[in-house]
Amino acid sequence: MSSSSVIPGLEHLSAPDTARRGAEQASEASSAADRQRRADELLDGLNDPQRAAVVHAGAPLLVVAGAGSGKTRVLTRRIAWLVTERRAHPGSILAITFTNKAAAEMKERVEQLVGRRARIMWVSTFHSACVRILRKEIDRVGFSSSFSIYDSADSQRLMSLVLNDLDLDPKRYQPRAVLNWVSNAKNELRDPEAATADASNHLEETYAAAYTSYQRRLRDANALDFDDIIMTTVHLLQGYPEVREVYRRRFRHVLVDEYQDTNHAQYALIHQLCADDPEAARDSATPVPGDVGGSAGERVGPSELMVVGDADQSIYAFRGANIRNILDFEQDFPNASTILLEQNYRSTQTILTAANAVIGNNEGRKPKRLWSDAGDGERIVGYVGDDEHDEARFVAEEVDKLTDDHGVRPGDVAVFYRTNAQSRVFEEIFVRVGLPYKVVGGVRFYERREVRDALGYLRMLANPADEVSLRRVVNTPKRGIGDRAQACVAALAAREGTTYWEALRVAHRADGIATRSVNAIRSFVDVVEELQQMVAADERPDVILEAALDRSGYLADLEASDDPQDETRLENLAELVAVAREFADDPQAGPSADPTDVEAGTVRPGLGDFLERVALVADADQIPADPDGEDVGVVTLMTLHTAKGLEFPVVFLTGLEDGVFPHMRALGDRSELEEERRLAYVGLTRARERLYISRAVVRSAWGAPSHNPASRFLDELPVDLVDWRRTAAAQTSWSRPDVGSSWASADPRPALGAPTPAGRRNFSAAAARADAAKKAKAARPIPSLAPGDRVQHDTFGLGTVVTVEGAAEKSVASIDFGSDGVKRLLLRYAPVEKL
Ligand code: ATP
Ligand code: MG
C-alpha cells in the first residue's frame, strides 16, 4: 500500500474527487432539469385525457374519440414519450398506420421530437411490417425469402388461369368475384382446408376448390397476394411459438392508429404480439397443422398496446374491416383501460355540428359529445351545378377567389369525391385555368399496361419462379413465342415437374414445338440470363430496368409505333425509371432493408426492395412521390377513402348525389348506407375552416348523362348552417319549367329542372365569360420554347425552360420556377408567355 493511499471508504473526501463529484452532481442536476424540460415539452399542448394517454403505462389502452380530437397526435407524442421518458429502445416500437403516407408523416414528426434515433423504429402499415417479418421468417413455411408480392391485377390473372384449368364457365365464375370470396376467407384467417371444410353448397365448394388451386399456384410461383401477407404472418406466429416470442420480445410497444379499420387477421396479429395469452384469440383459427409447435422457452410478458380509433370512421368493411375490433377491445384485452377524448381541435363548431348531425342518423352507435372552441366560423357553402363540368368550374373559381381574397394557398385546399373516375373533370378544368394540383390515388400509374409490363420484367428477374410475370413478358413485345409455343412449354414444365422458366431454358425438349419458336425462345432466354447477371451483381434497380426495356426490344417496339398512345407510354416508362432512380438514391427508401444496416450505410436498396415498395405503394392508393419532391402549394384531389386521417383548411365535398354518394350499390342496403354515411362523416370532418358541398344535376357516367337526385346526406345537414350559393340548375333543354313551381326558397335543394331564380343569373353570365376566356386561352398559339428560354407563368411567375418534349399540340416543357420548383406543363394549356 502506498503512502498516498487513503482510508478505505473515505476516498471521496480527497480534494480532487470531491471536485469531480460536485461537477457530476451539477451535471446530473442539469440533465434532470433537461429531462424535465423535455418531458414538459412532450406534454405541452395536450389536454388532460390526452396527457393521460401519452404517459399511460402497463395494461392495454384504447383511445376512442371522434374526428379531430387528437388521437393521432397522442399516438405520435406517446412514441416520443416512450423513447425519451421511459427509455424504450426505438427498435422496440412498432407503430401501425393505415397508409405509407401516414407512416412517413408520423415518422417525420417523431423524428422532430426525438431526433435521428426515430429512424430505426418500425412505423409502417400492417402490410409493410408483415413483409419485413416474412422476409426473415417465411422459409419456415416453405417459401423463399425472395417471394414476390402479387397485386390485385396479378392475382386476377392468376385466378383466370386457375378458373380456366378448372374448366369453369367464365361468365358464371368471374375472377374478381372468386377473388373477393378468397380475400374474405383470408381476412378471416381461413386457409383453403378450412374454407373447403366450411363450404356448405355447390357454389362455395367451387370457390373453395378455386381457392385451393390458386394457393397452390401462388406457392409454386413463390408468391403471396396482398391478403396472404397478413394471413401468413399470423399463421407463422401461431404455428411457431418461438418465432412469436422473438417478436414479442422485440416489440415491447405496439401502437395502432385507425384501429376501427382493422380486419380479423390484423386483430389476430396484434393479439399474437400483445395478448397475455396469445393462444386465446377470439374465434382464432387453429394453428396451422403439421407445425412443430413445441415449447417456446420462457415467455415474456405481454407488450404494451395502445390503439386509437373512432367507430364512426370505419369505412373499410368492404375489405373485411370489423368494427367489433374496437367495440370489443375491452373483452379482447381484459384489464384494458379506455380513454375518451371529447374536444375537437380541428374544425369550427359549424363544421362539427354539421358532421355530428349527419352521423347521428346511423343507428346503434354510441353518441359522442364532441365540441370545439374554435368558434362558429364561416357557414358551409353549397352549390348545385348543371352538370359535373359546371360543378368543377365552381370549385376552380372558388379556389381562385379564396386565394385572391382570403390568403388561402392552393395547398390548403382539398377536393374530395366518391370514386376515382370523378377526378378527370376537375383535372381538366384545373389544367385549363392553370391551377396547380395533384391527384392522390386514381392515377393508377402502376396499373398502366406499359408500367405493368416493365414491372413484369423486373419481377421475373428477381424471382424466376414467378410464372405470372414471366408469362406476361415472354411474348411482349411480340417475338414469335405464340400461345401454341407457350402451351408446349407449359406442358413440358408439367411433365418434368419444373418451373416454367426452367422449361423455357430447355424448350427444345417440348413436344410438338416449332423450330422457329425454339429459336425465338432461345434468344429470349439469352436476354433474360444476361439481365439476371446484372441482378446477381447487385446493379441498381433503375439501371436494370433500363437495360430490361432496352434489350427486350420493348422500347424499340414503342418507338417504332405511330400510335399516339405509345408516346404517352414512353413517357410513363421514363417516369418509372425516374421513380426507380430516386429510390436507388435514397438509402432510407428500402422498406425491407434492415434500418440498422441502412443507417450504417452498408446496404443499398436493391431490385427486391424496389419491387416491394412499388407493390405496397400501388396498393395504398397513392402516387409515387412527386419527382420534384414538391409537396406544398397545390390543390389535392382525392377520394374520400384516401382522405382518412388528413385535414385541410378548405374542403370541397363534391358529387353529393344519390347514386354517386351514397354510392349506387349502397342505396338499397341499410348497413352499406351506414358505411357511406360514415364516409360522409370522414369527409366533412377533414375541413378546418371552410367547407363546401356540391352536386351536379346531370352527370355523364360512362358516356350517358344520368340525372341523380340530391344526396340524402344533404337532407341531414341543418338547414341554417348552409349558405346555398346556387340551388337550381340553369334552364336547359331537359328542364321543365312547370316543375319549378314546386321550388320554394326555403328548400335548399329544389327539384330537378327548377328555373334559375332571378338574381342568380349573373352567375351563368360569369360562367359564360369564364368559358369564353378559357376558349380564348385555349385558342392562343402554343409558344415555341427551347431550353434556356425565360418565361412568365400566370401563377408561378418567372421561370427558365429546362427541357421541351413532343411537338405542337403535345409539347410539354419542364420549367424551373425557382422556389416553386420544376413543373411539367402542357404548353397548349399552360398560361405561359415567352419573354
Ligand atoms: P382523425 O379522427 O380525423 O384521425 P385525430 O383524432 O387523429 O383525427 P389529430 O389529427 O391528431 O386528430 O388532431 C387534429 C388536429 O388537432 C391536428 O391539427 C392536431 O395538431 C390538433 N390538436 C390535437 N390536440 C390538440 C391540443 N391539445 N391542442 C391543440 N391542437 C391540438
Ligand atoms: Mg387520426
CA dist., res. 700 & res. 389, Å (int): 10
* 77 CA to centre of ligand 1 in angstroms: 12
Set 97, 233, 313, 499: catalytic member: 313
Residue closest to 608 by CA, chosen among 108, 93, 134: 134
C-alpha–C-alpha distance, residues 161 and 815, integer Å: 47
Residue 345 Cβ < 6 Å to ligand 1: yes
Number of the ligand 1 atom closest to the C-alpha atom of 685: 3
Mutate to test the pocket of ligand 1, among 345, 640, 644, 689 (most ligand atoms within 8 A of CB): 345
Residue nearest atom 4 of ligand 1, based on CA coordinates:
645
User: Given ligand 1 and candidates 346, 368, 684, which is best to mutate, with the most ligand atoms within 8 Å of its CB?
Assistant: 346
Ligand 1 contacts CB of residue 340 (under 6 A): no
CB 608 within 8 A of CB 592: yes
12 within some domain: no
DSSP three-state, residue 603: coil
Q: Are 475 and 482 contacting, i.e. CB atoms less than 8 angstroms apart?
A: yes
Domain harbouring 320, CATH code: 3.40.50.300
- Position 580 scores a pLDDT of 86
Grid cell for residue 51: 396527457
pLDDT, the chain, mean? 82
Distance CA 302, CA 270 (A): 11
How high is the pLDDT of residue 423? Answer: 80
User: Per the domain annotation, does 432 fall within a domain?
Assistant: yes
Catalytic: which of 258, 310, 675, 676? Answer: 258
Centre of ligand 1 to C-alpha 345, Å, is 6
69 lines ligand 1 (CB under 6 A): yes
The answer to whether residues 345 and 372 touch, using CB atoms and an 8 Å cutoff, is: yes
Q: Residue 772: which pLDDT band, with cuts at 50, 70 and 90? A: very low
Q: Say whether both 502 and 602 belong to one domain.
A: yes
pLDDT value, residue 171: 83
Ligand with minimal distance to 76 CA? 1
Amino acid identity at 79: I
- Looking at the structure, tell me whether residues 795 and 708 fall in a common domain: no
Q: Is 310 in the pocket of ligand 1 (CB under 6 A)?
A: yes
Instruction: Give the β-pairing of 648-653 and 413-417.
Output: parallel
**Residue tagged active-site, from 71, 418, 644, 677:** 71
Nearest Cα residue to atom 23 of ligand 1: 70
Q: Helix/strand/coil (H, E, C) string of 687-714?
A: EEEEEEEEEEEEEEECCEEEECCECHHH
Does 49 sit in the ligand 1 pocket, CB within 6 Å? no
Helix axes 126-137, 607-619, angle to 10 degrees: 150
Which pLDDT band holds residue 72 (cuts at 50, 70, 90)? very high
Both 258 and 213 in one domain: the answer is no
Percent of the chain at pLDDT above 90?
Answer: 53
Same domain, 175 and 115: no
One domain, residues 385 and 425: yes
- Average pLDDT (682-692) is 98
pLDDT tens-place string over residues 586-603: 645 433 334 333 344 445
- Report pLDDT for 240: 96
User: Tens digits of per-residue pLDDT, 467-496?
Assistant: 999 999 999 999 999 999 999 999 999 999
**How many Å lie between the centroid of ligand 2 and the Cα of residue 777?**
42
The DSSP line for 558-592 is: HHH---HHHHHHHHHHHHHHHHHHHHHH-GGG-TT
Q: Is 814 in the pocket of ligand 1 (CB under 6 A)?
A: no
71 is catalytic: yes
pLDDT at 291: 40
**Integer Cα distance of 349 and 427 in angstroms:** 32
Tell me, yes or no, if 565 is annotated catalytic. no
Domain boundary among 221, 253, 269: 221
Give distance in angstroms: CA of 517 to centre of ligand 1.
63
**Within a domain: residue 353?**
no
Q: pLDDT digits over 797-817, tens only?
A: 788 888 887 776 667 788 887
Whole-structure pTM value: 0.71
Give pLDDT, residue 420.
Answer: 74
> Cα(620) to centroid of ligand 1, in Å?
23
Q: Which residue type does 665 have?
A: R
On whether residue 620 sits in a domain, the answer given is: no
Around ion ligand 2, residues with a beta carbon closer than 5 Å are 71-72, 645
Mutation test residue for ligand 1: of 73, 259, 260, 308, the one with most atoms within 8 Å of CB: 73
Higher pLDDT, 749 or 531: 531
Angle formed by the axes of helices 607-619 and 541-551, nearest 10°: 90
Higher-pLDDT residue of 243, 106: 243
Which listed residue (154, 191, 257, 676) is catalytic?
A: 257
Residue 623 included in any domain? no
How far does residue 379's CA lie from ligand 1's centre (Å)? Answer: 22
Q: Is the pLDDT of residue 15 over 60?
A: no
Query: DSSP labels for 474-509?
Result: TTSS--S--HHHHHHHHHHHHHHT--HHHHHHTGGG
Whether residues 593 and 455 share a domain: the answer is yes
Tell me which of 165, 190, 221 is where a domain ends. 221
Ligand 1 lined by 72 (C-beta under 6 Å): yes
Cβ-based burial of 167 (10 A; exposed 0-12, middle 13-18, buried ≥19): exposed
Q: Indicate if 530 and 642 belong to the same structural domain.
A: no
Q: Say whether 413 sits in a helix, a strand or coil.
A: strand
Catalytic site residue 499?
no
How many angstroms is it from 67 CA to the middle of ligand 1? 8
3-state secondary structure of 807: coil
Indicate the number of domains in the chain. 5
Task: Give 132-146 pLDDT, tens digit per residue.
Answer: 999 999 999 999 988
Q: Are residues 579 and 465 in the same domain?
A: yes
Which ligand 1 atom lies nearest to the CA of residue 344? 16
For the question of residue 72 being annotated catalytic, the response is yes
The candidate with the shortest Cα–Cα distance to 604, out of 589, 592, 587, 617, is 587
Q: Answer yes or no: is the C-beta of 68 below 6 A from any ligand 1 atom.
A: yes
Active site residue 50: no
Band of pLDDT at residue 568, cut at 50, 70 and 90:
low
Count Cβ atoms below 10 Å from residue 703 Cβ, excluding itself: 5
CB distance 385 to ligand 1 below 6 Å: no
| Residue 744: per-residue pLDDT | 29
Instruction: For 148-170, write each residue's pLDDT tens digit.
Output: 888 777 888 899 889 999 999 87
- For residues 567-584, average pLDDT: 79
What residue's CA is closest to ligand 1, atom 27? 46
* Residue 731 confidence class, pLDDT cut points 50, 70, 90: very low
CA 518-524-529 angle, to 5 degrees, is: 120
Angstrom CA distances, 809 to 436, 781, 792, 803, 825, stand at 20, 10, 20, 16, 12
Quick check: 773 pLDDT over 50?
A: no
Q: Which ligand is nearest to the CA of 63?
A: 1
Considering the domain architecture, whether residues 479 and 574 belong to the same structural domain is answered as yes
Q: Which three cell numbers stand for residue 115?
A: 431526433
Cβ of 305 less than 6 Å from ligand 1: no
Active-site residue flag, 686: yes
- The whole-number pLDDT of residue 584 equals 85
DSSP E strands in 733-821: the ranges are: 790-793, 797-805, 812-816
Quick one: which ligand is closest to 73's CA? 1
Measured CA distances, 616 to 130, 253, 267, 293, 620 (Å):
11, 24, 20, 31, 6
* Position in ligand 1 atom list of the atom nearest CA 682: 3
The finding on whether 109 has its CB within 6 A of some atom of ligand 1 is no
Residue 358 resides in a domain: no
Distance 662 CA to ligand 2 centre (A): 23
Cα–ligand 2 centroid distance for 428 (angstroms): 32
Say whether both 262 and 121 belong to one domain. yes
Tell me if 806 is assigned to some domain.
Answer: yes
The CATH number assigned to the domain holding 539 equals: 1.10.486.10
Q: Tell me: the pLDDT tens digits for 325-383?
A: 898 898 889 889 999 999 999 999 999 999 999 999 999 888 887 899 999 999 999 99
What pLDDT does 701 receive? 59
Sequence-distant (6+) residues with CB within 8 A of 193 are 289
Confirm whether 226 is domain-assigned: no
pLDDT at 127 over 80: yes
pLDDT at position 29 is 60
Strand pairing partners for 639? 417
Q: Specify whether the CB–CB gap between 552 and 477 falls below 8 A.
A: yes
Q: How many CB atoms lie within 10 A of CB 330?
A: 13
Expressed in angstroms and rounded, the spacing between residue 355 Cα and the centre of ligand 2 is 16
Q: Which of 713, 735, 757 is where one domain is finished? A: 735
- What residues form DSSP beta bridges with 690? 650
Taking the CA of residue 75 as reference, the ligand 1 atom at the shortest distance is 11
Condensed to tens digits (0 to 9), the pLDDT of residues 429-463 reads 887 788 888 877 644 566 678 888 999 999 999 99
Which of the two residues, 189 and 561, has the higher pLDDT score? 189
3-state secondary structure 121-167: CEEEEHHHHHHHHHHHHHHHHCCCCCCEEECHHHHHHHHHHHHHHCC
Same domain, 401 and 512: no
Residues 197 and 236 reside in one and the same domain: no
Give me the domain span that covers residue 52.
48-141+231-341
Residue 342, ligand 1, Cβ within 6 A: no
Point out the catalytic residue in the list 50, 72, 348, 476.
Answer: 72
How far, in Å, are 201, 216, 261, 417 from residue 170 at the CA level?
19, 20, 33, 33
Q: Quick one: average pLDDT of 69-90?
A: 94
pLDDT of residue 601: 42
